[in-house]
Amino acid sequence: MDEIDLGNGYTAEWCGWHPDRKLNPQYENLPDVEKLVLLISCPHGNKGACHVKQKKHQAEYEELFKNSANWWDLVSEDPLEISPSVQFLTPKCCHGFIRQGKWVNA
């Protein structure tokens, strides 16, 4: 997918979830998701992954990633907005929001 310019050196890119069901039959009943994870890059070259909740298929994927603390709500896809804020933890370099398609420092 295309990289999204969030301004001030921040970018984001959507990643989908499309398992090979022959190798992973346990996912047979879960549909593919075009936009499940948002990879965010900061000006320092660090990247973070956010699992993004969407109304469609939300219950199935919450169960799938139940051990992950990294869940954000998709407020708007265009312009991109997720909630709550994003904090880069390793290293702990940046903290902010994605609002109206732009990175806003916290």
CA 27 → CA 50, 56, 65, 82, distances in Å?
A: 21, 17, 12, 26
The domain total for the chain is 1
3-state DSSP call for residue 66? coil
User: What residues make up the domain containing 30?
Assistant: 3-105
3-state DSSP call for residue 77? strand
CB 4 within 8 A of CB 11: yes
pLDDT digits (tens, 9 = 90+) for 15-47: 988 999 999 998 888 888 888 889 999 998 888
pTM strictly above 0.75: yes
3-state DSSP call for residue 33? strand
pLDDT digits (tens, 9 = 90+) for 3-15: 999 999 999 999 9
10 Å Cβ neighbour count for 97? 16
What is the mean pLDDT of the segment spanning 85-97? Answer: 84
Tokens matching residue 58: 């939300």
